[in-house]
């Protein structure tokens, strides 16, 4: 293996075969291990701080020491504080951490797979499929649909989530079947968008012919919320997210190989078609679970990977996947905290807050990176 460097722009060379060396682009230059660990520790500290903040501050402010006492099994000064933390704020905070991590990682995977910075977890139509399942229960079936779900062992808390999961699973099956037959990721991307348009059209028809109160219920679901997951639902939601995140961590090497294109990945011995199927399955599992239990929470999947790339200065997924997990959970907690409007009884739509707070950050990151590239080029 041969290394060649210049005074201004270092390059890393990796061997392909016995006699050849292929340069990797400068964007994949990996930061020093110590710097990477410090950055990850800083993100972990920020996640813990945001988690405690979400438990302590809200319409009712609870002293931080009381929160710690409750979490460690002690008795709070007021019984109402214990009820608020354990029954309401704690499950919401855990949901936000898991959902934020899931959306950030799945967005990172889609951006790498399609080599498109605007790709998000819902680019394959998974969100639209989940929305269709929810719409069929809320708009078309109404009370009858709820009774049907209860009759097959899916009572009220799980009814909407079960319908959303079935819709997401249906689109997932279609995408997976197509992924096994299609060679081009561009074709797969277009077909995923078409699946999304078809399901969105059906949802629009259901909304058009539904009565006002059912439409309002469905629209409230589309705003997104981390507060609807109960402890009973958490027994399903949390394991699914953990499995999806574990799969993403196992896919780090294939994702790194795909950074330079499918041809280069094949030259390294990667089975591109199989890797593509596993990446899609991991993304669909994460995005589908979040949409089913929390609604179609937007923007996090696009924004967080870009912020992590800017912080670490690398495209190496060995750093970006754990960073996206930590950053996604922290950003989700902060946006949910802002949406609750601490000190008041007002609750803002979560999707509106994620876009309003996240869009300026991404714009700043993109402009800053372009300015740095221009300066280097000059």
Cα–Cα distance for residue pair 199/127, rounded to 1 Å: 10
Give how many domains the chain has, as a whole number.
2
Mean pLDDT of 367-376: 60
**What's the pLDDT score for residue 374?**
55
Of 70-84, 152-166, 192-206, 347-361, the poorest mean pLDDT is in 152-166
Mean pLDDT of 305-310: 89
Mean pLDDT of 275-280: 88
> Do 17 and 148 fall within a single domain?
no
Asked whether the beta carbons of 47 and 329 are under 8 A apart, the reply is yes
In the DSSP assignment, the letter for residue 15 is: E
**What's the pLDDT score for residue 140?**
67
> Do 222 and 276 fall within a single domain?
yes
Asked whether the beta carbons of 333 and 51 are under 8 A apart, the reply is yes
Of 64-78, 176-190, 259-273, 304-318, the poorest mean pLDDT is in 176-190
> Do 8 and 37 fall within a single domain?
no
Of 91-100, 190-199, 320-329, the poorest mean pLDDT is in 190-199
**What is the β-pairing status of strands 13-16 and 20-23?**
antiparallel
**Extended strands (E) in the chain:** 13-16, 20-23
Which phi and psi (to 5°) does residue 23 adopt? -75, 140
> Do 37 and 20 fall within a single domain?
no
pLDDT(158) > 80 = no
291: in domain: yes
> Do 42 and 58 fall within a single domain?
yes
Cα–Cα distance for residue pair 85/18, rounded to 1 Å: 60
346: in domain: yes
79: in domain: no
pLDDT(37) > 70 = yes
Using DSSP, state whether 11 is helix, strand or coil: coil
> Do 165 and 314 fall within a single domain?
yes
295: CATH: 1.10.3470.10
H/E stretch holding 310: helix 300-312
> Do 277 and 296 fall within a single domain?
yes
Cα 111 to Cα 237, 305, 322: the distances in Å are 25, 9, 16
Mean pLDDT of 261-273: 85
Mean pLDDT of 94-110: 95
Domain, as residue range, for 8: 1-29
Task: Choose among 258, 236, 268: nearest CA to 108.
Answer: 258
**What's the pLDDT score for residue 196?**
83
240: in domain: yes
pLDDT(79) > 80 = yes
pLDDT band at 97 (very low <50, low <70, confident <90, very high): very high
Task: Choose among 308, 297, 288: nearest CA to 361.
Answer: 308
**What's the pLDDT score for residue 21?**
36
Using alpha carbons only, how large is the chain's radius of gyration in Å?
Answer: 22
77: in domain: no
157: in domain: yes
CB-based contacts of 110: which residues, under 8 Å, 6+ apart?
116, 119, 120, 121, 123, 124, 283, 301
Question: Packing angle between helix 90-114 and helix 300-312, nearest 10 degrees?
Answer: 70
Mean pLDDT of 354-375: 73
Full DSSP string of 112-164? HHHT-TT--TTTTSHHHHHHHHHHIIIIIIHHHHHHHHHHTT--HHHHHHHHH
**What's the pLDDT score for residue 331?**
95
pLDDT band at 319 (very low <50, low <70, confident <90, very high): very high
Q: In terms of pLDDT, which residue wins out, 189 or 254? A: 254
CB-based contacts of 215: which residues, under 8 Å, 6+ apart?
139, 207
Q: In terms of pLDDT, which residue wins out, 79 or 330? A: 330
Tokens of 154: 């899916």
In the DSSP assignment, the letter for residue 212 is: H
pLDDT(171) > 70 = yes
Residues 126/127/132/134 CA torsion (nearest 10 deg) = 120
> Do 205 and 340 fall within a single domain?
yes
pLDDT(151) > 70 = no
Asked whether the beta carbons of 31 and 314 are under 8 A apart, the reply is yes
80: in domain: no
For 212-245, the pLDDT digits (tens) are 888 888 888 889 899 888 898 898 899 999 999 9
Q: In terms of pLDDT, which residue wins out, 6 or 169? A: 169
Cα–Cα distance for residue pair 99/107, rounded to 1 Å: 12
83: in domain: no
SS (H, E, C) 259-287: CCCHHHHHHCCCCHHHHHHHHHHHHHHHH
> Do 182 and 61 fall within a single domain?
yes
Task: Choose among 167, 163, 157: nearest CA to 195.
Answer: 167
For 40-70, the pLDDT digits (tens) are 999 999 999 999 999 998 888 899 999 999 9
Asked whether the beta carbons of 134 and 221 are under 8 A apart, the reply is yes
pLDDT band at 138 (very low <50, low <70, confident <90, very high): confident
Task: Choose among 104, 370, 81, 95: nearest CA to 228.
Answer: 95
H/E stretch holding 360: helix 350-377
Average pLDDT, the chain: 80
| CA 360 from centroid of its chain's CA atoms | 19
> Do 298 and 162 fall within a single domain?
yes
> Do 110 and 201 fall within a single domain?
yes
The answer to whether the Cα torsion of 108, 109, 113, 119 is positive or negative is negative
HSE of 21 in the Cβ direction (CA atoms, 13 Å)?
9
> Do 114 and 166 fall within a single domain?
yes
pLDDT band at 288 (very low <50, low <70, confident <90, very high): confident
pLDDT(148) > 90 = no
**What's the pLDDT score for residue 29?**
42
């Amino acid at each position: 293996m041969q290394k060649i460097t210049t005074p201004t722009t270092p390059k890393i060379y990796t061997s392909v075969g016995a006699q050849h060396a292929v340069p990797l682009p400068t964007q994949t230059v990996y930061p020093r291990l110590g710097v990477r660990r410090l950055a990850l520790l800083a993100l972990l500290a920020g996640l813990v701080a945001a988690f405690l903040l979400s438990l302590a501050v809200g319409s009712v402010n609870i002293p931080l020491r009381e929160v710690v006492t409750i979490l460690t099994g002690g008795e709070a000064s007021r019984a109402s504080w214990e009820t608020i933390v354990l029954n309401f704020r704690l499950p919401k905070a855990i949901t936000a951490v898991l959902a934020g991590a899931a959306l950030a990682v799945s967005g990172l995977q889609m951006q790498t797979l399609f080599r498109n910075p605007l790709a998000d977890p819902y680019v394959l139509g998974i969100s639209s499929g989940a929305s269709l399942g929810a719409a069929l229960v809320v708009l078309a079936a109404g009370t009858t649909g709820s009774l049907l779900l209860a009759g097959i062992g899916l009572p009220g808390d799980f009814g909407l989530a079960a319908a959303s999961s079935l819709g997401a699973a249906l689109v997932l099956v279609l995408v997976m079947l197509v992924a096994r037959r299609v060679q081009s990721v561009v074709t797969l991307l277009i077909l995923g968008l078409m699946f999304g348009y078809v399901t969105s059209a059906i949802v629009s028809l259901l909304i058009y012919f539904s009565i006002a109160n059912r439409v309002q219920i469905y629209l409230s679901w589309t705003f997104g919320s981390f507060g609807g997951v109960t402890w009973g639902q958490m027994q399903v939601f949390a394991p699914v997210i953990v499995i999806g995140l574990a799969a993403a961590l196992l896919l780090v090497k294939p994702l790194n190989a795909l950074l330079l294109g499918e041809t280069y990945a094949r030259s390294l011995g990667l089975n591109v078609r199989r890797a593509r199927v596993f990446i899609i399955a991991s993304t669909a599992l994460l995005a589908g679970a979040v949409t089913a239990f929390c609604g179609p929470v937007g923007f996090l999947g696009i924004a967080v990977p870009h912020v992590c790339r800017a912080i670490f200065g690398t495209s190496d997924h060995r750093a970006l996947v754990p960073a996206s997990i930590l950053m996604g959970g922290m950003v989700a907690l902060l946006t949910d905290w802002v949406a609750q409007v601490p000190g008041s009884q007002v609750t803002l739509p979560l999707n509106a807050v994620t876009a309003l707070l996240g869009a300026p950050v991404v714009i700043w990151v993109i402009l800053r990176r372009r300015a740095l590239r221009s300066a280097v080029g000059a």
